[in-house]
Structure 1
């Protein structure tokens, strides 16, 4: 029997996989074509729900939309694009079940706000009647962190625990608006001092129990918290702690 080439999943592997999920702006979506019996791959824009579940916005005119309606099983490939050999950079393959969201529900409206923070240009077409959001309910993943670094991962390895974060969509929206309006200096320092980002006007675009996302143009950075938060009451102290750390590095 051939030796299993995968490594035991550790903290670093989980962190890398979650960073790929939270920062990827696009991915390759593979769906099943029952008529031909062949897989069908499409390039899609990708956002994330609070727990990290991928979100996609599709038109009824798209082939992959009709294929997901017939068979919701799918796979999504996310990668960290960089210079040199593309196979030397991390990538993550997710296996999932696609779930269409009713656009009239509160859930879909909150996801719309979250998605547009990551893809602001999608506001041009997000409300077209033939467009709808889909949540990809992740069942497992396969992470390749570079040559010789392969991991098989469960949904528990990949998604954040939201069980103690009730009504967090509204909390997150208020916190993001406040930070961008009143503490833009701290937001910029998060990016430049703690994430190694370039100088510029950065915006906070996402908060979850395990970290935050920051955006400048097409660049998205992930800043993970030292440890997962246990509830919304810990968000403000953590942001203050990180701001103080960033300011001390900038001094």
Structure 2
């Protein structure tokens, strides 16, 4: 089965693609798209292929087209991930050293709100009578504290996630009061008032003060069983948070709830996994999506393996709608491959979708 070219389909292709785009905004069932426009993704997909660098597919490195440039970057680096966590979250747990009788020297955790300054440093508005503020004042200048924040819970925007399967970040550093003479004083007040509506009522009180936490150590954890790494503060400061971060949990929820069949096809046709039992999207950002695939071991049907994959976008996206469109392209190409569709020059759908195996289940 061959797909019509854009020259032959003309205006009809544009109309159908526009129809598909608006359906994408609501993540309408992809079966409707498949019936109306099997050829569309072939015509709008970028024609750049993955370059000659090895890309890992199902645990093995394979060389790709030698005629093109290097493959696109399909994963955020760790500093970007850490900066994304602290940018999306507006609250966290502040850990100070207690000076209270009977627990002196013990870690003391407090729930606090914060915003980030332009360098990614957390800024907190704290009452001078709060226990954590008292601990900081008694410790004196140069005291080290730790702020912990994680995605998906009540301390971040977006739909809540549960358990340890979320990204989190711990920032340890020195904390000090910000004086009204600070260059970014007005910016901090405005930023804090927007993020925390109650702040306008208390930030002018003599009992409340802004404090800035300047990192000396940063620790990032990607989730349960996922990579963890120390992040150099200078790399964290230079990193840019992901543009999809505040909407990623909603996108993941919709995909896992409404697109089980599409995810299964993606696992079998794009990732080449056999005996698939379950597929879930565990992350979405401007460069691609993370998928967790559980499958049965050949000749040991009672044994399950769970592997992690990265399905990259051919180009970075700049909006939520772009991300939805790129994801539906992957789903469409998986469906086309399953149903024997070929493109010009007998090219197989999904052949140039960048894929990386990020974690492998070795517990046999």
TM-score, with structure 1 as normaliser: 0.59
Displacement of 1:196: 5.9
Change (3 A) 1:145 1:197: closer
Give 1:159's aligned residue: 237
Give 2:95's aligned residue: 30
| Runs of 4+ off more than 4 Å | 194-198
Structure with larger Rg: 2
Change (3 A) 1:119 1:138: same
Change (3 A) 1:75 1:197: closer
Q: Which runs of 5+ in 2 are unaligned?
A: 1-74, 154-159, 251-284, 288-316, 326-364
Displacement of 1:105: 4.2
Matched, 1:70 2:138: yes
Q: Write 1 or 2 for the structure with the bigger share of helix.
A: 1
Q: Which runs of 5+ in 1 are unaligned?
A: 1-9, 162-189, 199-222, 226-240
Q: How does 1:34-53 map to 2 (within 5 A)?
A: 34=99, 36-53=104-121
1:109-166 Cα shifts (integer Å, max 9, x gaps): 33111222222331111111110100100111111101231111110232138xxxxx
Matched-pair contact (CA < 8 Å) for 1:29–1:41: yes
2 CA distance for matches of 1:132 and 1:140? 24
1 CA distance for matches of 2:248 and 2:169? 23
Matched, 1:103 2:180: yes
Q: How does 1:198-237 map to 2 (within 5 A)?
A: none
CA RMSD of superposed structures (Å): 3.6
1 CA distance for matches of 2:138 and 2:218? 23
Displacement of 1:242: 5.2
1 CA distance for matches of 2:238 and 2:190? 20
Displacement of 1:16: 1.5
Q: Which moved more, 1:20-29 or 1:63-72?
A: 63-72
Q: Secondary structure at the match of 2:198?
A: helix
1:51-110 Cα shifts (integer Å, max 9, x gaps): 111010001111111211232210010001255542111111111110111135443233
Equivalent of 2:195 in 118, 133, 136: 118
Change (3 A) 1:138 1:224: farther
Displacement of 1:46: 1.3
Matched-pair contact (CA < 8 Å) for 2:121–2:214: yes
Give 1:80's aligned residue: 151
2 CA distance for matches of 1:54 and 1:196? 22
Give 2:254's aligned residue: none
Change (3 A) 1:139 1:196: closer
